[in-house]
Structure 1
């Protein structure tokens, strides 16, 4: 099951759970009001305020972290595009014969990188594509070292090309690890537990009314469920609704210039 499908199930489960716990809280509140009309709610406002504040704080930090990682992943696409473009331009320092072969390898390399991410959410196929791109990296590095030592290569070819290639290779590792950076599972579990606790307290505070306010009940459950879903969706920006795919256009444009 994909991460986004799991996120949808978690959000649906949270929605149902919040509805149920609001009803449980309401019935508990009505029972306490029947036994002690004057003191059933004494001091409950402080507890409710603390729990709701903690839920809001945790949602804010979790959402902020997810958005920050989303922006970082977009920046890494731009950085990789710049690194590949710089290395490609510096191939002009090599002899013409070696340069042509390397330029073709660069074109294949960019195609492999683009194809790997286009294969998502098929993770296995995407990993195979990344492995193919890594193999091309190794071949390009070996060829550049050999070509830079040719008598007709520019004097500083190696000094200029190897750092550019190193940046191009390093950014792929950075992107791979950045895609795997997520909050610990315990944070999501705590967020869900606090959301359910807040639903119980919200239902308790609704006790005493003649009828249920379905607008508030459903809205409260829907807002919590959608918030958790969006946070998880942002954490996996190539699988859900919120995506970084549009920034791949920078690599596509770079590939178009490699003629």
Structure 2
């Protein structure tokens, strides 16, 4: 199991708690190690440890900003795709009304089934079932469009319908890619976690060398770092978490489609 899959298996709150516990333990270990080393070598100069700690914290801030930007961009992309797909499906549904029967009714019946399949849930198994069924529905829709195109190849109305159907098919694959594969690179997440923990360890070590430590400051630093990293992880998750992509455009479309008279395909 990869590190990213391990994170996905944990609730967001648990991911924050695990980081806080490990970071706190490493910080305490660094403090004790620094304190022990200072007692063992009392005549040795401390060296530029404070400057090194400041440089590491600056690098960590840069890494946090980079990871946050990557995660927020991917979150905004997923959110925008929901609206784009809802508009595309709605346009396809409306243009299907210009097609001859029984193709028009059959297409609308398939789209009526298709819309709920595009509403994301938290269950990965259910999502995979929905993806498979969505692909089947799109294949049937394209088969009907091909049959109509062979019969009336010069129809402008049919060309408009095929154009919107093609966009719907493209958005299906785009949403899958954005939701499952377009994640913050695992290397960045690993570096973010381990870099933050090691930085806190160095901060604790520096506090041990100087024999000056504020417990409240250490707790605040761990909490803030953990919250920011957890936010990055939450933004990067396509399904569960505190921050979820709003599915309301598809829900509204489903309500609009269900409010229309039911289609009666005769094929």
Cα deviation, 1:189-244, whole Å, max 9, x if unaligned, reads 2122221221122112323447x522112112222222222211111142111101
Contact 1:21 1:200 in 2 (8 A): yes
CA offset at residue 133 of structure 1? Answer: 1.5
Contact 1:73 1:175 in 2 (8 A): yes
Gaps of 5+ in 1: none
State the match for 1:93 in structure 2: 98
1:78 aligns with 2:83: yes
- From the superposition, tell whether residues 196 and 40 of structure 1 become closer, same or farther in structure 2 (CA, over 3 Å): farther
State the match for 2:129 in structure 1: 128
State the match for 2:142 in structure 1: 141
TM-score by length of 2: 0.84
State the match for 1:67 in structure 2: 72
In structure 2, distance between residues paired with 1:185 and 1:2: 10
In structure 1, distance between residues paired with 2:86 and 2:154: 25
1:243 aligns with 2:244: yes
State the match for 1:225 in structure 2: 226
Q: Match of 1:5, SS?
A: coil
Greater Cα offset, 82-91 or 13-22 = 13-22
**Counterparts of 1:13-92 in structure 2 under 5 Å?**
13-35=18-40, 40-92=45-97
CA RMSD of aligned residues (A): 2.4
The count of aligned residue pairs is 251
TM-score by length of 1: 0.86
Gaps of 5+ in 2: 1-5, 261-267
CA offset at residue 4 of structure 1? Answer: 5.1
State the match for 2:158 in structure 1: 158
Contact 1:26 1:204 in 2 (8 A): yes
Contact 1:102 1:140 in 2 (8 A): yes
